[in-house]
Amino acid sequence: MDISGKRMYELLEKMNFVRLSTFEGEKKGAEIIANEIKALGIEPTIEGFKAPRYEIKKAKLEVTAPVYKEYEVTGYGFAGNAAADGIEAEFKYLEALDSIDLVDVKGKIIFMAQGLRPEAFKTLIEAGVVGFVSAHGTFRETKDTLDLDERMLRPQHIEYGKLPGVCISMTDALELVSSKPEKVKLTLAQEEGEGDSQNVIAEIKGTEKPDEVIIYTAHYDSVVFSPGMFDNASGSATILELLRYYKANPPKRTVRFLWTGSEERGLLGSKAYVAAHEEELKNIVLCINVDMTGPLLGRDEARVTGEEAVCNALTYFYKEIGYPMNVKQDIYSSDAIPFADKGIPGINFMRVAAMGTAQIHSRYDTIKTVTAESMERTAKFIAAFSDRVINSVFFPIEKKMPENMVEKVDKYLRKKK
């Protein structure tokens, strides 16, 4: 089977830079993939879509009493400009969100050590908090090893309102709270709007059943500071290698390949694709999504957003060919979800890294954490499984979404709370 980890690794080398949604790096990533497709003699399509974009103009956190001190912060994106000229208020460390913790937070700026889930955000707004501080990293990190996270409010937060917030390092947070500040001043100014993101699409028509389409998806965008080699240049390279493979081995059914932008901003690329191609969705019988492969130490896994029968088929298959894999029926936070929402079964392939090896969403998601050999093994498995399905006499996977998966998808997409 002509699947080359070396070629995949070479693509990673070309894409070894930050590919942040709506910024230049993401666009460059799309162009690199499009050029690889062209080199195969296939005409790629680049489809643009709008994605939310913010730019922080000013973010500050100052302790104003009893002793002045300024902390290094990043501002929360999409948190508005209510604090553009600074809000000065009393400070409180909020240990938890129980009602007893909330009795005296009205009008205050709070610090919370835990993450800001939408439900927590709602509680803060209802309690009358005027600003918040969250922390990133661990006590072990210094300024040299930590890129202070650039966080943002998501639509699921904003539905409850807006609240200015900043993020500080955990080291600073420990100092801030132990210094018992009476008053702090929070400043946050930003531009909020939209920018351009894009999907890249390629297709090989089926020789016998061109109207039955299997779509492969992988996101090529990354997050701030991260060259995203594991997450998810690896998956992007995997499906490009599958495109090459099917170009050389014409499939009986049509195979379409979708490299999505802005996945990291909430699956925006796959959502845009599904919205723009509503009519064609009836022909898509399966979505195969690849999100993260390549660590040397780790384990190949598959999450089937579809019927249990697909799990069984995959399980028999990996045993038959002797390729260990962990298979479960579940959703996976990636691009198969918008397809599953339209009733299209999804199989997500990934290689989960052993703890302490590959890391995502940081500067440490580097090319060193993936290997050509490992990417090749996973890609060969996906190709072998795909062959069986794509070239089958009768398509074996029913286009049906079981109730438990519908429920999980709905919950994920916040159709249900």
From 1-9, 28-36, 162-170, 288-296, span contacting Zn ion (CB under 5 A):
288-296
Is 232 or 305 the residue whose CB approaches Zn ion more closely? 232
Ramachandran category for residue 41: left, alpha or beta (phi over 0 → left; psi -120 to 50 → alpha): left
Q: Alpha carbon 190 to chain centroid distance?
A: 24
Is 36 or 221 the residue whose CB approaches Zn ion more closely? 221
- 3-class SS of residue 48: strand
Would you say 314 and 347 are in contact if contact means Cβ atoms under 8 Å apart?
yes
Residue 305 pairs in a beta bridge with: 346
User: CB burial class (10 A; 0-12, 13-18, 19+) of residue 20?
Assistant: buried
Q: How far is the CB of 360 from Zn ion (least distance, A)?
A: 7
From 18-26, 230-238, 381-389, 394-402, span contacting Zn ion (CB under 5 A):
230-238
Residue 112 pairs in a beta bridge with: 134
Question: Is residue 231 part of the contact set for Zn ion (CB under 5 A)?
Answer: yes
Question: Rounded distance, CA 27 to CA 197, Å?
Answer: 7
Q: How far is the CB of 333 from Zn ion (least distance, A)?
A: 8
183 token code pair: 């008053």
226 token code pair: 């991260």
Report DSSP letters for 85-147, one per residue.
Answer: T-EEEEEEE----SGGGGTT-TT-EEEESS---HHHHHHHHHTT--EEEEEES-TT--TTT--
Question: Is residue 291 part of the contact set for Zn ion (CB under 5 A)?
Answer: yes
Is 110 or 229 the residue whose CB approaches Zn ion more closely? 229
Is 241 or 291 the residue whose CB approaches Zn ion more closely? 291
From 62-70, 164-172, 286-294, 306-314, span contacting Zn ion (CB under 5 A):
286-294
> Binding string, 309-328, against Zn ion, x = CB under 5 A?
--------------------
**Total of residues contacting Zn ion (CB under 5 A):** 3
From 102-110, 165-173, 283-291, 317-325, span contacting Zn ion (CB under 5 A):
283-291
Give the one residue of 169, 226, 232, 262 binding Zn ion; rule: CB under 5 A.
232
Q: How far is the CB of 334 from Zn ion (least distance, A)?
A: 6
Q: How far is the CB of 355 from Zn ion (least distance, A)?
A: 18
Q: How far is the CB of 352 from Zn ion (least distance, A)?
A: 12
From 22-30, 89-97, 192-200, 228-236, span contacting Zn ion (CB under 5 A):
228-236
Is 172 or 291 the residue whose CB approaches Zn ion more closely? 291
Ramachandran category for residue 251: left, alpha or beta (phi over 0 → left; psi -120 to 50 → alpha): beta
The beta-strand segments (E) located in 25-170 are 45-65, 69-71, 74-75, 87-93, 109-112, 131-136, 165-169
| Residue whose tokens read 């499009």 | 34
Question: Is residue 335 part of the contact set for Zn ion (CB under 5 A)?
Answer: no
Q: How far is the CB of 251 from Zn ion (least distance, A)?
A: 26
Q: Tell me the H-state helices in 150-258.
A: 155-158, 170-178, 234-248
Q: Tell me the H-state helices in 279-343.
A: 308-321, 337-340
**What one-letter code names the amino acid at 16?**
N
Q: What is the separation, in whole angstroms, between the first and last Cα of the chain?
A: 46
From 7-15, 56-64, 290-298, 378-386, span contacting Zn ion (CB under 5 A):
290-298
Is 258 or 397 the residue whose CB approaches Zn ion more closely? 258
Residue 168 pairs in a beta bridge with: 135
Residue 192 pairs in a beta bridge with: 54
From 91-99, 148-156, 287-295, 385-393, span contacting Zn ion (CB under 5 A):
287-295
Is 203 or 231 the residue whose CB approaches Zn ion more closely? 231
Q: How far is the CB of 238 from Zn ion (least distance, A)?
A: 12
Is 163 or 290 the residue whose CB approaches Zn ion more closely? 290
Q: How far is the CB of 118 from Zn ion (least distance, A)?
A: 21
Is 16 or 81 the residue whose CB approaches Zn ion more closely? 16
> Binding string, 33-72, against Zn ion, x = CB under 5 A?
----------------------------------------
- 3-class SS of residue 174: helix
Would you say 188 and 172 are in contact if contact means Cβ atoms under 8 Å apart?
no
Question: Rounded distance, CA 214 to CA 205, Å?
Answer: 10
Interface residues with Zn ion (CB under 5 A)? 231-232, 291
